[in-house]
């Protein structure tokens, strides 16, 4: 296991453990995050843990052309129930993602230092948010990393009403802005939308374009 110092570069992802854990420690600066995501690495840990850096193989991804939309979601998309904006309330979205309670999760990995770092990424044009409104109230959203290589690295979503975050995610995927959505690790929810496993070496080729 690699223990990072603040000025230490990441090891090659090939040395990651079987479950994808690559390194422990290091800082959470914007530059560190840019280096990580450009190499197919992401942070994932809970508040009481040290920073854990991951690069799983295979990677869970969604190709926009493989997006699956149920009939009920198609009706919702056409209904005008929700309104979507982009990059208007990034800090609000990440703070909502940090505070929402999730099944099986004791605490949040979206700590104050992580919020600061991602807000800095957003100011640099390297992170973006999607906001979902119902009757002018924000009821869902998501955020992630966009390094300008055609890959959106999804980080977290929140919903205050049913299907709000799914609505925003589908609108992002259908926007045509990305060749690939990085979902990082498997969830049955994203699998139902068309996400699939991709060997890490193929995923890294998309990042290097």
58, 76, 94 — which closes off a domain?
Answer: 58
Alpha carbon distances (Å) from 49 to 45, 46, 190, 207? 6, 5, 26, 28
Pair 125, 114 in one domain: yes
Pair 192, 128 in one domain: yes
Pair 111, 141 in one domain: yes
CB within 8 Å of 178: residues ≥ 6 apart: 64, 150, 151, 152, 172
The beta strands (E) that lie in 55-110 are given as 59-62, 83-86
Do 115 and 98 meet the contact criterion of CB atoms below 8 Å apart? yes
17, 42, 58 — which closes off a domain?
Answer: 58
- Is the pLDDT score of 101 beyond 80? no
Domain, as residue range, for 7: 2-58
pLDDT band at residue 102 under the 50/70/90 scheme:
low
Picking from 36, 189, 51, 29, the residue whose alpha carbon sits closest to that of residue 109 is 51
Pair 7, 64 in one domain: no
**What is the share, in percent, of the chain residues with pLDDT greater than 90?**
83
Pair 50, 111 in one domain: no
Q: Average of pLDDT values for 129-146?
A: 97
pLDDT band at residue 5 under the 50/70/90 scheme:
confident
Do 141 and 131 meet the contact criterion of CB atoms below 8 Å apart? yes
* Residue 162, domain CATH: 3.40.630.70
Pair 123, 69 in one domain: yes
* Residue 20, domain CATH: 3.30.70.3550
The confidence score (pLDDT) of residue 48 equals: 75
- Is the pLDDT score of 23 beyond 60? yes
Pair 52, 77 in one domain: no
Pair 49, 64 in one domain: no
**CA separation for the pair 209, 207 (Å, rounded):** 6
The confidence score (pLDDT) of residue 106 equals: 52
**CA separation for the pair 27, 177 (Å, rounded):** 30
Pair 51, 86 in one domain: no
The confidence score (pLDDT) of residue 47 equals: 73
Cis peptide before 136 (omega within 30 of 0): no
58, 78, 105 — which closes off a domain?
Answer: 58
**CA separation for the pair 89, 162 (Å, rounded):** 20
Count of structural domains within the chain: 2
Q: How many helices (H) and strands (E) would you count in the chain?
A: 7, 11
**CA separation for the pair 154, 37 (Å, rounded):** 11
The distance in angstroms from the start CA to the end CA of the chain is: 29
pLDDT band at residue 108 under the 50/70/90 scheme:
low
Pair 52, 68 in one domain: no
Pair 68, 17 in one domain: no
Pair 125, 27 in one domain: no
**What is the share, in percent, of the chain residues with pLDDT greater than 70?**
96
């Amino acid at each position: 296991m690699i223990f990072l110092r603040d000025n230490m570069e990441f090891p090659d992802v090939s040395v990651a453990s079987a479950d994808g854990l690559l390194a422990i420690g290091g800082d959470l600066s914007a530059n560190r995050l840019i280096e990580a995501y450009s190499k197919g690495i992401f942070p994932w840990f809970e508040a009481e843990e040290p920073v854990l850096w991951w690069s799983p193989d295979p990677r869970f991804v969604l190709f926009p052309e493989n997006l699956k939309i149920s009939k009920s979601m198609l009706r919702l998309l056409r209904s005008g129930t929700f309104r979507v904006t982009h990059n208007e309330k990034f800090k609000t979205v990440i703070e909502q993602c940090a505070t929402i309670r999730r099944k099986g999760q004791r605490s949040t990995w979206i700590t104050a230092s992580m919020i600061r770092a991602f807000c800095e990424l957003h100011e640099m044009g390297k992170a973006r948010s999607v906001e979902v409104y119902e009757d002018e109230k924000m009821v869902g959203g998501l955020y992630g990393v966009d390094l300008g290589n055609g890959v959106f690295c999804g980080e977290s979503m929140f919903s205050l009403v049913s299907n709000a975050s799914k609505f925003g995610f589908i609108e992002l995927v259908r926007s045509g802005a990305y060749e690939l959505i990085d979902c990082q690790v498997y969830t049955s929810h994203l699998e139902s939308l068309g996400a699939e496993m991709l060997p890490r070496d193929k995923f890294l080729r998309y990042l290097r374009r």
